[in-house]
Amino acid sequence: MERMTDRALSFDVVAGQYDSARPGYPPALFDAVEELSGRPLHGSRVLDVGAGTGIATRQLLARGAEVTAVEPGPGMAAQLRRTLPDTPLVRGFGDALPIADTSVDLVTYAQSWHWTDPALSLPEALRVLRPGGALALWWNVADPDVPWVAAQDERLRRRGGGGAHGVGGHRAEGLPDELPRVRRALTVPLDSHLANLSSHSLFRVLGGDATAACLAEERAELLKVFPTGSVEEAYTVDLIVTLRPAASSGTRGPSSEV
């Protein structure tokens, strides 16, 4: 877990790049969160854990939620504070939330659950949820069924021992093992795609020279597929929603997914 924490905090040095290059989430995702949690986001007290620069936080606020962001990294937290100066921000990890018991309606993890130890983070989420509240986890995942995405992932694995795509995360008892997938497509300039790619933790580990070489290779390979310089990114959005029982003080409840 110490290695995972170090890698998670490595995003700090690219906080501005992360904020500008990473894609947000489709409206259908938040519709599904409302449906599966059984309550509207508008007026709900939401704890956005691993909030990063606030990409999901902003979208939750736009849906009318009352959001408190939780973020361990000082650089990411500073970027969030610049863009969302009026949003409550707590420095902390999901494995030990500095939040009172039964105080929120919804706990969200956007792209960040896989940096936690589920044996700790799941009980912590259930602890801070009010009875009947919900834990929602989601990820933008580059679609592995698209040939150029699969080829890129293989190149990245050869260079860094792990791809930049996919959840690569942890499940826990009480959470589903199978994730259904909702596909989406975005067309972005090649430079934007490479900026997004280089904001992943893999490149913080590789170091400057290896990162530059890898991105140069990716530019050349992608221009073979997208000679106009517009990359057709293909994503799936994976979502898990788990409910805390309305009549329980802390035991795990039934799980739902979409």
Q: What is the pLDDT of residue 42?
A: 98
Query: What percent of the chain shows pLDDT beyond 90?
Result: 53
pTM confidence score: 0.80
Q: Which residue has the higher pLDDT, 257 or 230?
A: 230
The set of residues, in sequence order, having a beta carbon less than 8 Å from that of 227 and lying 6+ positions away, is none
What is the predicted pLDDT for the residue at 161?
Answer: 56
pLDDT of 51 higher than 70: yes
pLDDT at 100: 97
Per-residue pLDDT band for 13 (boundaries 50, 70, 90) equals low
- Examine the pLDDT at 4 and tell me if it is beyond 50: no
Look at 154 and 46; give whichever has higher pLDDT: 46
| C-alpha 13, offset from chain centre | 18
How far apart (Å, rounded) are the C-alpha atoms in residues 167 and 234?
15
Average pLDDT over residues 121-143: 94
Lowest-confidence segment of 134-138, 146-150, 167-171, 208-212 by average pLDDT: 167-171
Beta bridge partners of 233: 186
C-alpha–C-alpha distance, residues 204 and 12, integer Å: 10
d(CA 245, CA 190): 46
Burial 238-255 (b: 16+ CB within 10 A, else e): bbbbbbbeeeeeeebbee
Quote the tokens at residue 85: 């100066």
State the Cα–Cα distance between residues 99 and 150, nearest whole angstrom: 40
Q: Which of 7-21, 47-61, 185-199 is predicted with the least confidence, judged by mean pLDDT?
A: 7-21
Find the range with the poorest average confidence among 87-101, 160-174, 179-193: 160-174
Q: What is the mean pLDDT of residues 130-151?
A: 92
Q: What is the mean pLDDT of the chain?
A: 83
The owner of tokens 């620069």 is: 53
Question: Quick check: 18 pLDDT over 70?
Answer: no
CA atoms within 13 A of residue 256's CA, in its CB half-sphere? 16
